[in-house]
Amino acid sequence: MTTPLELDLLATPKAVPELRHHLHDHDYDVRLCATELLTNVIDHLGEGTPVTVRVTTASDHGQTRIEVTDPDPSALPALRSAADTAESGRGLTLVDALAHRWGVTPEADRKTVWCELARPSKQPSSRRPPAARVICTSGQAGRTTAGPSDVTGQDGARTCPAVR
């Protein structure tokens, strides 16, 4: 794993270019996904929300994981279709298109929205087809439920019905 980046900051419009600056050693897709996840906090929870941004890259397979943790476990992200003329509403659509997978890890007092991107030069065809979505991870480490339904998986991990 390369040296991880962890930033505690307030989600403000000024923080977006600052985050991009901290990620200057990462490729465009990583910078875009990280800033889109941060922008979602600004848009949906409000300016000044405290967040923690973590970016790690596994050197053995080149996968980069981006996590943005905020203090509101109930405001779950939702993948929506934006109208052609809409000026916003495409952030998670971009993350969904660029990331190998993404999801939400809810906890009692916070949630973490995360995505994982494969290094394009090593795995050019690693992007999953749009129909397969990681919906949510439970608070238990390593358990992931994937699928479009509002059910509890056999392992007890629950899906997040707001994320489609």
SS3 category, 140: coil
Q: What percentage of the chain exceeds 70 in pLDDT?
A: 66
Is the whole-model pTM more than 0.85? no
26 vs 120: CA distance, rounded Å: 12
pLDDT at 60: 73
Mean pLDDT, rounded, for 102-126: 79
Task: Identify the residue whose tokens are 């993404």.
Answer: 102
Q: Which architecture, in CATH terms, is 5-77+87-128?
A: 2-Layer Sandwich (3.30)
For residue 132, name the pLDDT band (cuts at 50, 70, 90): very low
| Structure token digits, residue 115 | 């995505």
At residue 78, the pLDDT reads 77
- Residue bearing the bigger pLDDT, 97 or 143: 97
* Burial of 6 per CB tally in 10 Å (0-12, 13-18, 19+): exposed
Strand pairing category for 111-117 and 101-106: antiparallel
Among candidate residues 5, 20, 76, 15, the one with its CA nearest the CA of residue 42: 15
